[in-house]
């Protein structure tokens, strides 16, 4: 079953076309990577999928239903988690940051929130960080808190905008491990952008090559880039 369907999507910023007739599907439980250089339209595409921006033309379907950008978006957004390239955390404790998406829903008991936060912090290897102020964390820790925020409500779709772009190799490895595990064990559908081909090869079941706002190729990494593995070179 398709988790996301994108049909003929275009985005125009005051006459500057950043996405042109983009069409692709992402299957449920798939790890899908949008690969492309800076300025290729990856972030804009992800922001449209996260309902932060409206497409100029084209349609998006989530679990078979067309997304209506004119309606209240909060309900649909609660099924989607997003991690931004530049980590944004609130000036509160790690616990409160991670609990925020649950608290605003208002339908969970305090004990349930505490249990879910504890579990997700364990998943991102940050148990024991609950009381620390989120703004006092290192870059890698902060990005993992952002990941925990996106995961705590158990989204059906996880959108990641170059989540490791500003991290050191150790933290890149940790975050990639978390994402692989999440996709493998919980079957969470993931759409991630990156300009790193090695990372795309390591993580993606399929990649879409995006350049100048257009999808140039789509499929398993080796089909798109040939049989030679980058990691074996």
φ/ψ of 32, rounded to 5, equals -115, 130
Task: Provide, rounded to whole angstroms, the least separation between the CB of residue 197 and other proteins.
Answer: 27
* The one among 16, 38, 72, 228 contacting other proteins by CB under 8 A: 72
**Count of positions on this chain that bind other proteins (CB under 8 A):** 23
Using rule CB under 8 A, residue 107 touches other proteins = no
State in angstroms the smallest separation of the CB of 223 from other proteins: 32
Interstrand relation of 206-211 and 16-27 (parallel, antiparallel or unpaired): unpaired
Q: How much helix, strand and coil, in percent to the nearest 5, is found in the chain?
A: 35, 30, 35
Q: Is 91 in the site for other proteins (CB under 8 A)?
A: yes
Phi, psi of 4 (to 5 degrees): -135, 135
Tokens of 189: 């559908």
Residue 193: which of 159, 147, 216 has the closest Cα? 159
CA dist., res. 68 & res. 112, Å (int): 32
163 counts as binding other proteins under rule CB under 8 A: no
71 binds other proteins (CB under 8 A): no
Q: Which residues, other chains included, contact 135 with Cβ-Cβ below 8 Å and sequence gap of 6+? A: 89, 91
> Which H or E run includes 189?
strand 189-194
Q: Which of 123, 117, 111, 113 is nearest to 94 (CA)?
A: 117
Q: Is 217 in the site for other proteins (CB under 8 A)?
A: no
Which range, of 62-70, 87-95, 170-178, 212-220, touches other proteins by CB under 8 A? Answer: 87-95
Q: Does 105 bind other proteins (CB under 8 A)?
A: yes
Least separation in angstroms between residue 28's CB and other proteins is 21
Closest approach of Cβ 231 to other proteins, in Å? 33
Q: Are 193 and 33 in contact (CB under 8 A)?
A: yes
Least distance (Å) from other proteins to the CB of residue 83? 9
Could you say whether residue 175 binds other proteins (CB under 8 A)?
Answer: no
Identify which of residues 27 and 86 has a Cβ nearer to other proteins in the complex.
Answer: 86
With a CB cutoff of 8 Å and minimum separation 6, the contacts of 16 are none
**Segment interacting with other proteins, rule: CB under 8 A, options 36-44, 73-81, 119-127, 165-173:** 73-81
Choose, by CB under 8 A, the member of 20, 78, 156, 202 that binds other proteins.
78
Residues that bind other proteins (CB under 8 A): 50, 52, 72-74, 77-78, 80, 82, 84, 86, 88, 90-91, 100-101, 104-105, 133, 135, 149-150, 153
């Amino acid at each position: 079953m398709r988790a996301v369907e994108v049909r003929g999507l275009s985005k125009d910023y005051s006459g500057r076309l950043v996405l042109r007739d983009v069409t692709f599907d992402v299957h449920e439980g798939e790890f899908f990577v949008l690969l492309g250089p800076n300025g290729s339209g990856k972030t804009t595409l992800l922001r449209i999928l996260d309902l932060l921006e409206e497409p100029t033309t084209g349609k998006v379907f989530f679990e078979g239903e067309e997304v209506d950008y004119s309606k209240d978006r909060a309900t649909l957004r609660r099924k989607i988690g997003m991690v931004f390239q530049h980590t944004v955390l609130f000036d509160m404790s790690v616990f409160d940051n991670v609990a925020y998406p649950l608290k605003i829903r208002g339908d969970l008991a305090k004990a349930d929130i505490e249990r879910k936060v504890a579990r997700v912090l364990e998943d991102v290897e940050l148990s024991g960080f609950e009381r620390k102020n989120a703004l006092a964390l290192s870059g890698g820790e902060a990005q993992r808190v952002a990941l925990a925020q996106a995961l705590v409500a158990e989204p059906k779709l996880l959108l990641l905008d170059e989540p490791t772009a500003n991290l050191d190799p150790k933290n890149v490895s940790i975050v990639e491990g978390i994402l692989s595990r999440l996709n493998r064990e919980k079957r969470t559908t993931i759409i991630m952008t990156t300009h790193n081909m090695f990372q795309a090869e390591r993580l993606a079941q399929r990649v879409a090559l995006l350049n100048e706002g257009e999808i140039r190729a789509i499929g398993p990494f080796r089909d798109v880039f040939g049989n030679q593995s980058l990691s074996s070179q």
